[in-house]
Structure 1
């Protein structure tokens, strides 16, 4: 669903400019003197809030509520954010040019600024969506089981490289709800994970020995995810969804402390001195959910706390940076960049340099982790429209790819996610995720747009994913995309009450994002090919197809104008995701 919001307080033009500073408020970028700066997302939000209330005193409490919302934070968080803004802009509290401190009360933005349609700096004019507030979104039902995958290494007489296979698979947890984000302890004897068995997500640890103990580590009800062990196995760092922060707690339970007031996917460095994390929070826990969305970037913070520093910059590479993991020598980090229709695996040195692409052009890709010897990167992915596989990519000590990815094992109907490898390289833990996805409808008032009745389920089968429902112009039909586990998606049609399902496409392509031409006699839908994306027009009567336009890049979520003369769609051509139109 796309929702347009008319907010008179927000100018339509995306850029703010004052002095030699240019701010792209949509993609969370800021330049000074043509140089791209790094600001934590919270500091960026504070700066935007002050600019948009320019000239008046903004009380501390108003700032805290406007930026942090319902999360509990102290004035110290605000003070740190303002300090970071001043340091980045070259401002000072004693002789302010931009932000004036009103002692014991708040702050005032005192510089004159203007909104401009184009930046006067080497900035991009592409507009990305603003960072999302945290929410867990499951399509319908996700059943998770953390399991341990025991690996064996063998050597072929005719091959110079080692092959990896699966010796056995063992299920570790049996909760009927959600057990996810497993992380093996450094000694391989425990697994930490997140579970909703108490009504909210909490961190648990479990011994892997038969009859081993299971201990609930957190009990605060703050939707805690993504545990990661310290190298000595004594502490666990995790993401607090309720507070949108990074916290550390004793591995067997105790008092938690916050070390960063934003971010998710924390990972302890091999020497225990640093914690790496992504700025984007968790917005979706579905099996095929992206690990990050633009403009997510990678950050580092001392494991004892302190000021986080940016490791990557938005747009380099394009997409949202996330799903990170350390190399065992602590010199590099592997991560995934998620863009529309384009997912790639990269490595970067811990000082932010030597950015290298390792695996390009994944259809879907998740959770890269390094082998203990640092010679391979394991990841979950679909390189072609097919079943998910566990893959292995050989890499050099400098993070360069050596050869092509090699399949290790298929994941079956359940998608393998959140992989973790034991210190001896013999075990791999993961979440086995399956999902039931169905379409629902709800009646709304024409006058107010509010719901006037309960939701009604339209479909009830076990296919893997149903997406992009679109009502026909007369409201009597619904077109949607449907995919079975291990298969590509096709376009289907049902009556508005869910009856009379009809499969409209059944070829080897991936067909998605259906929409209607005026009159309701034909459908448009997107499909991928080697050259990019193509929109096809399908006649409902004779099933004849013809190409409407071809786009030499990935395109998705197309919609046809009411007069049938223009098409609007999403594409990442030229950089971040934008909305494009074609005639």
Structure 2
């Protein structure tokens, strides 16, 4: 009998699913803020991640309870207080975690942003709190939305040790800055650079520095900065007055980026000491974009006669076709073992994230259940997760994660065989 009970409990653990997290929210409102509180509660309940259980109390009365709370692992008790200042025609909203002020924001009908964005900003705090808990504890099944703020959240990058995830956000004062998500602590920290907007953060191979595209000198340049004392140690890498963009690391001391030229653009290689040289691409492209490197091969997007495709430049100077259909392919990302290519493609009528097995040539969509544009895929260092940005309707993009489960054979390959790629003609 004892063995049967143990076996049954193990069966329930694996079959019934993962443990979850519970949100207990107490809303406090007045006659002037009742509609706001109701709108915020509706957004929270409609966007609640799976394995999250919700209890809402409004001014002392039970308003809503969702889900089966029998498998709760952690409970967050939050209080939302909304007030209205009639003299300034201004709404103020605050979140309290226990008794500590955790987040506050405000809105006036005179503001340039819409009321719906204010509601989403109010709702984002508890949603991101439980989402980051689910991520930190690996308690999600296929998809997990990470960010819920109405700001722009895109261009993700994992640190080599898997501890951090960097992305771009404008949630701080409306300026695009690098945000650092501590995947172990489940905490987002914004790294503002005064007088600049940032794009495409990329961790160095040693994980100690960030490469990015920024506007610190008035137009797009390429910069490197350390994670510690970052704002005092920003190094300009690119040169000239033409915009430079799409940076990536070639190795620990060398970076690769694209810079506009008189006749289109060009691919440049630069050391941290600023010794630069142009990478010659023998096959003629009108423009090139989004380089990424695996070992000694440079993958990039090439534009030819209004068609975007993904190509590879090998160490012997040969350009080969990796993926180029009658549709457009963008945002190449290579898995840590070099076998899989993730990219965005508009084959479905909007952009979805696809993966191609470079060994078997099989392709499949990994965002087929998300009916919105998705861009900028990136593999986690262990290859188990792909992060990307989702553009939902009229809302700004958010960061999502999806578990990566190859559908192709289990045949392993340390590198991609050259025969799997077609040469350019």
TM range (shorter): 0.5 to 0.7
Mapped contact 1:394–1:403 kept (Cα < 8 A): yes
Superposed displacement of residue 347, structure 1: 0.3
Equivalent position to 2:267, from 298, 318, 331 = 298
Per the alignment, do residues 359 and 263 of structure 1 end up closer, same or farther by CA in structure 2, a change over 3 Å counting? Answer: same
- 2:275 matched to which residue of 1? 307
Pairing of 1:319-398 with structure 2 (within 5 A): 319-327=286-294, 330-350=295-315, 353-383=317-347, 386-395=349-358
- 2:237 matched to which residue of 1? 259
Q: Deviations over 1:15-45 (max 9, x none)?
A: xxxxxxxxxxxxxxxxxxxxxxxxxxxxxxx
Mapped contact 1:192–1:205 kept (Cα < 8 A): yes
Superposed displacement of residue 435, structure 1: 4.4
- 1:418 matched to which residue of 2? 376
Pairing of 1:166-565 with structure 2 (within 5 A): 167-197=141-171, 198-209=173-184, 212-241=186-215, 242-252=218-228, 253-254=230-231, 255-261=233-239, 262-269=243-250, 271-280=251-260, 295-302=264-271, 304-313=272-281, 316-327=283-294, 330-350=295-315, 353-383=317-347, 386-395=349-358, 402-410=360-368, 412-436=370-394
Mapped contact 1:249–1:257 kept (Cα < 8 A): yes
Q: Deviations over 1:116-171 (max 9, x none)?
A: xxxxxxxxxxxxxxxxxxxxxxxxx9999999999xxxxxxxxxxxxxxx942222
Superposed displacement of residue 319, structure 1: 2.9
Q: Distance in 2 between matches of 1:246 and 1:332?
A: 21
Per the alignment, do residues 404 and 318 of structure 1 end up closer, same or farther by CA in structure 2, a change over 3 Å counting? Answer: farther
Mapped contact 1:201–1:221 kept (Cα < 8 A): no
Q: Could you tell me which runs of 5 or more consecutive residues in structure 2 were left unpaired when the two chains were aligned.
A: 1-115, 396-425
Pairing of 1:46-125 with structure 2 (within 5 A): none
Q: Distance in 1 between matches of 2:386 and 2:298?
A: 19
Superposed displacement of residue 350, structure 1: 5.0
Superposed displacement of residue 389, structure 1: 2.9
TM-score by length of 1: 0.40
Runs of 4+ in 1 over 4 A off after TM superposition: 141-150
Mapped contact 1:362–1:381 kept (Cα < 8 A): no
| Structure in which a larger fraction of residues adopt helix | 2
Mapped contact 1:345–1:357 kept (Cα < 8 A): yes
Q: Distance in 2 between matches of 1:343 and 1:404?
A: 20
Per the alignment, do residues 193 and 248 of structure 1 end up closer, same or farther by CA in structure 2, a change over 3 Å counting? Answer: same
Superposed displacement of residue 263, structure 1: 1.4
Q: Distance in 2 between matches of 1:419 and 1:382?
A: 14
Q: Cα RMSD between the aligned structures? A: 3.4
Q: Distance in 2 between matches of 1:216 and 1:323?
A: 24
Q: Deviations over 1:50-97 (max 9, x none)?
A: xxxxxxxxxxxxxxxxxxxxxxxxxxxxxxxxxxxxxxxxxxxxxxxx
What secondary structure is seen at the aligned counterpart in 1 of 2:156? strand
Q: Distance in 1 between matches of 2:383 and 2:247?
A: 21
What secondary structure is seen at the aligned counterpart in 1 of 2:324? strand
Superposed displacement of residue 214, structure 1: 2.4
Superposed displacement of residue 357, structure 1: 0.8
Per the alignment, do residues 416 and 346 of structure 1 end up closer, same or farther by CA in structure 2, a change over 3 Å counting? Answer: same
Per the alignment, do residues 219 and 387 of structure 1 end up closer, same or farther by CA in structure 2, a change over 3 Å counting? Answer: closer
Superposed displacement of residue 411, structure 1: 6.1
TM-score by length of 2: 0.54
Pairing of 1:28-47 with structure 2 (within 5 A): none
Q: Could you tell me which runs of 5 or more consecutive residues in structure 1 were left unpaired when the two chains were aligned.
A: 1-140, 151-165, 282-292, 397-401, 438-583
Q: Distance in 1 between matches of 2:263 and 2:149?
A: 34
- 1:41 matched to which residue of 2? none
Superposed displacement of residue 230, structure 1: 0.6
Mapped contact 1:390–1:411 kept (Cα < 8 A): no
Superposed displacement of residue 387, structure 1: 4.2
Pairing of 1:568-583 with structure 2 (within 5 A): none
Larger Rg, first or second structure (1 or 2) = 1
Q: Deviations over 1:370-406 (max 9, x none)?
A: 11111121111123x534332222325xxxxx53533
Q: Distance in 2 between matches of 1:391 and 1:309?
A: 33
Q: Distance in 1 between matches of 2:387 and 2:156?
A: 6
Mapped contact 2:309–2:330 kept (Cα < 8 A): no
Superposed displacement of residue 415, structure 1: 1.4
What secondary structure is seen at the aligned counterpart in 2 of 1:386? coil
Superposed displacement of residue 369, structure 1: 0.6
